[in-house]
Amino acid sequence: KQEVTQIPAALSVPEGENLVLNCSFTDSAIYNLQWFRQDPGKGLTSLLLIQSSQREQTSGRLNASLDKSSGRSTLYIAASQPGDSATYLCAVRERGGSNYKLTFGKGTLLTVNP
């Protein structure tokens, strides 16, 4: 059974700091991994999708890496801003019989202080 873990559960940083969020998964047989942002009480906004054959993806100040063999992904946020404050979730889509669904971690709550 696929399990996704995100560390840390919460992170508070001053504005301007570079930071890394971690995601690990137990079964490396995946199609892709997605990083999402969730504001309080809101839906999920897709930030980055990394295919299993890719090592990293970049969008603006965000860079996500994937090491499928070790079951790890990181989301790097450069020059953090107060507007980056949100919960960040990672999710994997497995190969095999359960490829119709995403398995999520519990998320990392990020607070960027002005």
Partner 1 sequence: DAGVTQSPTHLIKTRGQQVTLRCSPISGHKSVSWYQQVLGQGPQFIFQYYEKEERGRGNFPDRFSARQFPNYSSELNVNALLLGDSALYLCASSLQGMGNTEAFFGQGTRLTVV
Query: Could you list the residues that contact partner 1 (CB under 8 A)?
Result: 4, 31-32, 34, 36, 41-46, 49, 51-52, 89, 91, 93, 98-107
Could you tell me which of 114, 92, 98, 94 has the C-alpha nearest to residue 5? 92
Closest approach of Cβ 51 to partner 1, in Å?
7
> Around Cβ 105, how many Cβ atoms within 10 Å?
22
Comparing CB distances to partner 1, the nearer of 37 and 112 is 37
Closest approach of Cβ 32 to partner 1, in Å?
6
Comparing CB distances to partner 1, the nearer of 66 and 91 is 91
Cα 86 to chain centroid, rounded: 12
Query: Measured between alpha carbons, how far is 90 from 20 in angstroms, rounded to an integer?
Result: 13
Closest approach of Cβ 44 to partner 1, in Å?
4
Comparing CB distances to partner 1, the nearer of 51 and 70 is 51
CB 32 within 8 A of CB 52: yes
Comparing CB distances to partner 1, the nearer of 100 and 114 is 100
Closest approach of Cβ 99 to partner 1, in Å?
4
On the 0-12 / 13-18 / 19+ scale of CB atoms within 10 A, 104 is middle
